[in-house]
Amino acid sequence: NAGVTQTPKFQVLKTGQSMTLQCAQDMNHEYMSWYRQDPGMGLRLIHYSVGAGITDQGEVPNGYNVSRSTTEDFPLRLLSAAPSQTSVYFCASSYGTAGANVLTFGAGSRLTVL
């Protein structure tokens, strides 16, 4: 049981390049989400999904796309990277969306956009 797995751990991009951050969980969790973490800002929600085929925007969705074709995977796409997207990205999942269902986080992906 690997939990939440994120790849890559580190990535450097040039402005305008595109890339996908991968997230996979093997816990059969319904809910998955992406956060970014910046100094002094706390964790901010980018996009989330309450189940396969369903996605929605969080607090800071601009510049990012997501899809949820399977229960296990929830990739985050940057279509045209900008320096403002330099951050540490965390994927998280939970069994349900209500009650005290605790989020399980991945180890993070550090992205630098030059």
Enumerate binding residues for other proteins (CB under 8 A). Answer: 4, 31, 33, 35, 37-45, 48, 50, 56, 58, 88, 90, 92, 94, 97-108
- Minimum distance between the CB of residue 55 and other proteins, rounded to whole angstroms? 11
CB-nearer residue toward other proteins: 19 or 105:
105
- Which of 54-76 are b and which e, b meaning 16 or more Cβ less than 10 Å from the residue's Cβ? ebeebebbeebebbbeebbebbb
- Minimum distance between the CB of residue 87 and other proteins, rounded to whole angstroms? 10
